[in-house]
Amino acid sequence: MRPLYRAWLYFVAWLGGMALWLFYNKGTALWWQPLAICAICVALFIVTERRGCPPGGLQLVSVLVLLGWVFLFRLDSGWAARQFWGFVVGAGAYLLGLLLPWLHPRFGQLAAVAALTLLVLALVFGTRISGARAWLTVFDTFTFQPVEFARILLIIYLGGELAQNRLNVKSAAVLGLFLLLLALQTDLGPALLVFLVFSALYFTISFSWLKLVLFLGLGTAAAAAAVWKFPHLRTRLLAWLTPWDFLDSKGYQVLQGIFALNAGGLVGRGMGEGMADVIPAAHTDYILAVIGEEFGLLGTFALLLVYVGLAFWAFRLLLEVGDGRLRLIGLGFTLLLHVQVLLVVGGILRLIPFTGMTLPFVSYGSSSLTAQLWMFGMLTRLGREQL
């Protein structure tokens, strides 16, 4: 048995033990869901392998999804149940990404139109939650975040344009309009993420110190304008710089996250023994703090190693892709995922201001999980290069 498969089985068995302990303390109504997640992941693995695509990354993703479900169940069984059904939809999205030619050159222009359309719909018809008009309700039954899909579509378009050295007025206008729409929604975390990923892709094909200074200047000016324009950004900035001065208000979440990580120590306080109930948005923005308190530094480090392993898998896959356009789009997908991880971890550790984004594949959120699995399916398909 190959080492990666063996490690995956060991981890699944360990998570199974954690789930059994939780079932003993919280009830067994959802006992079948982690088993179903494992079965679905195995089925996706088989389909991926039979399509001639590299399936190794799927094992790492399944580890993240299972870990997220276990901690959501520890926090609230209702969140875990909804996350499971989000994963079921996401599994279908993964297959769509794997089996259909989304990255065909003719799809590039349509991807840009679709990305902007989603943001316009959110701006006009969206619901404001946590200060951002970033949610759409469909048929009064389910709500999703259009930006989760829109930013993937934008990377498909920009990657194709940059691969042909076409940072022209049209592509610059699409990017600028995309960022402007996010600013009008006051959803600036994804705007920062998209700008960073675009900058990295641009410098991959055309680097100069003058361009770097120009991008840094534009980014700094945009950040200063955003802080001046949006009060909630000033609140986050103050919460980052001087949280102790706002212990009972804007600095509360930041400090509770730091306290949780500190309380975890080296090996953690144990599953279910943390003070997750005092951390605001523990199931979404701050789930890493919950994991850090209950699994400690070693557990948190192991989680981050899974993301590192996923990045190495993706880069190794991309090295085998002969088409420069596809390789650049795949790099954009990889950065879209891992730069988000860096922003989340940096915000919780108070290295940078917190952006309000979720930990990929782990945090609660059906729309983000579905979009990430769709993107991951397209990335895996690049291992075949038969579009």
Handedness of CA 224, 365, 68, 250 (dihedral sign): positive
Alpha helices (H) along the chain = 3-26, 32-50, 56-75, 77-99, 108-125, 146-163, 169-184, 188-205, 209-229, 231-241, 252-264, 287-319, 324-348, 366-381
Q: What is the 3-state secondary structure (H, E, C) of 201-266?
A: HHHHHCCCHHHHHHHHHHHHHHHHHHHHHCHHHHHHHHHHHCHHHHCCCCCHHHHHHHHHHHHHCC
Do residues 380 and 50 touch, judged by C-beta distance below 8 A?
Answer: no
Q: What is the pLDDT of residue 122?
A: 87
Q: What is the pLDDT of residue 10?
A: 64
Do residues 228 and 185 touch, judged by C-beta distance below 8 A?
Answer: no
Q: What is the pLDDT of residue 387?
A: 43
- Cα 129 to Cα 135, 187, 191, 238, distances in angstroms: 7, 10, 17, 22
* Amino acid letter, residue 86: G
Which residues are CB-neighbours of 116 under 8 A, at least 6 positions away?
150, 174, 177, 178, 181
Q: What is the pLDDT of residue 239?
A: 79
- CA–CA distance, 59 with 176 (Å, rounded to integer): 37
Q: What is the pLDDT of residue 80?
A: 92
State the chain's maximal CA–CA distance in angstroms: 61
Do residues 189 and 336 touch, judged by C-beta distance below 8 A?
Answer: no
Closest CA to 294 of 269, 329, 312: 269
Do residues 136 and 171 touch, judged by C-beta distance below 8 A?
Answer: no
Domain locations in the chain as residue ranges: 103-381
Residue carrying structure tokens 């984004």 = 357
- CA–CA distance, 294 with 265 (Å, rounded to integer): 9
Q: What is the pLDDT of residue 57?
A: 92
Q: What is the pLDDT of residue 241?
A: 80
Burial class (CB in 10 A: 0-12, 13-18, 19+), 191: buried
Q: What is the pLDDT of residue 386?
A: 45
Q: What is the pLDDT of residue 233?
A: 76
Do residues 352 and 234 touch, judged by C-beta distance below 8 A?
Answer: no
Give pLDDT < 70 ranges for the chain.
1-12, 14-16, 18-19, 21, 23-27, 129-132, 139-140, 166, 385-387
Which residues are CB-neighbours of 307 under 8 A, at least 6 positions away?
64, 338, 341, 360
- CA–CA distance, 263 with 376 (Å, rounded to integer): 34
Handedness of CA 108, 327, 220, 223 (dihedral sign): positive
Q: What is the pLDDT of residue 306?
A: 93
For the chain, the straight-line distance linking the first and the last C-alpha, in angstroms and rounded, comes to: 32
Q: What is the pLDDT of residue 11?
A: 67
Q: What is the pLDDT of residue 385?
A: 55
